[in-house]
């Protein structure tokens, strides 16, 4: 794998440091995903950004279906190519993988050190989608769509990429505090039961995967964000957002850099004895529920 794998046009990001190794980040064009990509780049990692968005509105009803599986297969192939490359082959930078499009090469930005096939890989699965409905109002279509977009896509990323990860690698999944406790009830606007069930499933999948991959020297952890200003909360009015935020002990929403920092810690050499854990980045939200 030379330069950086690129499936969709993106800008570069400043890099510094010399952590080395590759990183794969899904949901790379989202608010949190962008922050994670840039943080890992600054630490000197070669980053492959993966976007699991549908190519057209006509495809929007099948997230997590064949196109997502194919995208993860192509990412796994890129990692396998890296594993078979000569030591020192490739430089850190940024690429982006988007479902159903063809890769092209790009000169990697930044000057951090080269990666080798033996370097640990950080796999961060941050793609997801939300919705608004109650248990009784949720449709079967919404249930299937959000389970696929959140839980199935996470499983597919692990299924296809884990075999290509060398020992010492780390996987970080993205859950949610709403996978542990529901948001404040009526009259507050609900969060889809499918979204909450999917996020709870991601935590269970994380623990199971951590147990299965531990003999291979691969750590697996879950990060559960609290309330952040992302695309999932764009439909909330200021009053609704404040009501949703009210349980947070710190009294403010999180900043994307705070999630990125937590991810950087979990995939770093400072967290080599942590696996199967869920790290809540929620400003003390769950303390008051």
Which of the residues are catalytic? 195
Nearby residues of 135 by Cβ (< 8 Å), 6 or more positions away: 193
Written as one string, the DSSP assignment of 169-192 is: -EEEEE--GGGTSPPP-TTSPP--
142 is written with which tokens?
Answer: 């919404």
CA distances 80 to 22, 49, 73, 147, 252, Å, are 12, 16, 10, 28, 42
271 is written with which tokens?
Answer: 């967290």
CA angle 258, 213, 259 (to 5 degrees): 5
Nearest-CA neighbor of 177 among 266, 247, 256, 263?
247
């Amino acid at each position: 794998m030379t330069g950086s794998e690129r499936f969709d046009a993106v800008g570069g990001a400043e890099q510094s440091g010399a952590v080395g190794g590759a990183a794969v980040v899904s949901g790379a064009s989202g608010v949190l995903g962008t922050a994670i990509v840039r943080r890992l780049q600054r630490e000197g990692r070669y980053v492959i950004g993966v976007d699991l968005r549908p190519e057209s509105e006509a495809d929007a009803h099948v997230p997590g279906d064949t196109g997502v599986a194919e995208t993860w297969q192509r990412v796994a192939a890129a990692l396998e190519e890296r594993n078979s490359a000569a030591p020192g082959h490739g430089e850190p930078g940024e690429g982006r993988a988007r479902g159903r499009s063809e890769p092209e090469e790009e000169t990697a930005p930044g000057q951090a050190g080269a990666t080798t096939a033996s370097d640990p890989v950080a796999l961060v699965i941050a793609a997801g989608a939300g919705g608004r409905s109650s248990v009784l109002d949720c449709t079967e279509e919404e249930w299937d769509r959000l389970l696929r977009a959140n839980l199935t896509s996470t499983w597919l990323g692990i299924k296809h990429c884990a075999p290509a990860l060398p020992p010492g690698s780390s996987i970080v999944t993205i859950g949610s505090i709403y996978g542990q406790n529901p948001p404040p009830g009526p009259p507050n606007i609900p969060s889809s039961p499918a979204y909450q069930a999917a996020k709870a499933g991601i935590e269970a999948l994380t623990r199971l995967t951590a147990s299965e991959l531990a003999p291979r020297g691969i750590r697996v952890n879950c990060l559960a964000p609290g309330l952040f200003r992302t695309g999932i909360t764009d439909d909330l009015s200021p009053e609704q957002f404040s009501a949703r935020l009210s349980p947070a002990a710190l009294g403010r929403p999180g900043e994307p850099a705070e999630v990125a920092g937590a991810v950087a810690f979990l995939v770093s050499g400072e967290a080599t004895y942590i696996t199967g854990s869920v790290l809540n980045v929620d400003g003390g939200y769950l303390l008051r529920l």
